[in-house]
């Protein structure tokens, strides 16, 4: 994982993320799931200059399409949705920065759409969410305490990175001719108890916010569309994992 946590042993990271050759359709499917989670995590980081160019150049659109085509379940990014992933062209770098801060990080009391699970979880104690997340991270050799701690452990980028990590570990297990079941079960459980419980809340908040702002505020519109893709992907992947475990 890039920021959310670090392995308790350097050998875990070197083993998990070394370059691997994909030799079968199953491995391509598994790699695509891992890649999609990595891409989604990047979309909710602070939009630095490199990321903004990634959007403006059309690389984000092409990445979504390329990865989607290799997934083990149907996740079609329609042409209209793809077009809305290139909405930074007419904005300056500072405009995008300010828009991101205004939507996700600033505001009276709290921002319009916080990117942390504790702000979206109804009837759930924030401390218990933290504790459960850290148990997940620690169980799979990652330590939030030893990471950068730039954000809370329930930040959406951290949770998505963890899914990226688990999906990669499942791929490595298959390539080493080992059982990947524990990693698939962990992914299903993590979605069920965390991301799948609040991804749709992010999408709803941004949809409502986009209805309230001027049409020219393309930063809000961009993130509304990104959040809709996130919610759709999480729903599709959760169903895929459920069916895969039922058939195991």
Q: What is the CATH number of the domain that holds 56?
A: 1.10.3480.10
Would residue 115 count as lying in a domain?
yes
Q: What is the pTM of this model?
A: 0.89
The separation between CA 236 and the C-alpha centre of its own chain, rounded to angstroms, equals 14
Q: What pLDDT score does 66 carry?
A: 93
Domain of residue 202: give its range. Answer: 23-247
Tokens 């050759």, located at residue: 21
Reading the chain (248 residues) residue by residue, the pLDDT tens digits are 444 443 333 344 334 444 457 779 999 999 999 999 999 999 999 999 999 999 999 999 999 999 999 999 999 888 888 888 887 777 889 999 999 999 999 866 789 999 999 999 888 888 999 999 999 999 998 876 655 555 689 999 999 999 999 999 999 999 999 999 999 999 999 999 999 999 999 999 999 999 888 666 789 999 999 999 999 999 999 999 999 999 87
Would residue 1 count as lying in a domain?
no
Would residue 218 count as lying in a domain?
yes
Per-residue tokens: 189: 């459980």
Alpha carbon distance, N-terminus to C-terminus of the chain: 28
Would residue 181 count as lying in a domain?
yes
Would residue 56 count as lying in a domain?
yes
Q: What pLDDT score does 117 carry?
A: 96
The CA-CA-CA angle for residues 85, 198, 129, to 5°, reads 130
Would residue 6 count as lying in a domain?
no
Would residue 195 count as lying in a domain?
yes
Q: How many domains does the chain have?
A: 1
Would residue 18 count as lying in a domain?
no
Beta strands in the chain (DSSP E): 6-7, 142-143
CA-closest candidate to residue 200, choices 166, 175, 241, 236: 236
Q: Residues for the chain: how many in total?
A: 248
């Amino acid at each position: 994982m890039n920021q959310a946590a670090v392995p308790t042993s350097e050998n875990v990271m070197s083993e998990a993320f070394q370059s691997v050759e994909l030799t079968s359709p199953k491995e391509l499917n598994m790699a695509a799931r891992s890649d999609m989670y990595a891409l989604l995590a990047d979309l909710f980081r602070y939009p630095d200059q490199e990321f903004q160019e990634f959007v403006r150049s059309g690389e984000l659109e092409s990445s979504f399409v390329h990865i989607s085509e290799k997934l083990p379940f149907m996740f079609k990014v329609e042409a209209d949705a793809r077009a809305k992933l290139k909405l930074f062209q007419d904005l300056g770098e500072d405009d995008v920065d300010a828009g991101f801060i205004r939507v996700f990080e600033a505001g009276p009391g709290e921002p319009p759409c916080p990117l942390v699970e504790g702000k979206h979880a109804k009837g759930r104690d924030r401390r218990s969410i933290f504790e459960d997340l850290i148990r997940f991270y620690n169980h799979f050799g990652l330590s939030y305490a030893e990471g950068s701690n730039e954000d809370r452990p329930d930040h959406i980028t951290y949770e998505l990175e963890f899914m990226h990590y688990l999906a990669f570990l499942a791929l490595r297990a298959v390539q080493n001719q080992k059982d990947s079941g524990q990693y698939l079960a962990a992914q299903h459980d993590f979605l069920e108890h965390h991301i799948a419980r609040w991804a749709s809340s992010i999408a709803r908040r941004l949809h409502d916010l986009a209805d309230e702002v001027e049409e020219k505020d393309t930063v809000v519109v961009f993130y509304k569309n990104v959040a809709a893709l996130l919610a759709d992907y999480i729903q599709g992947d959760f169903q895929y994992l459920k069916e895969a475990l039922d058939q195991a």
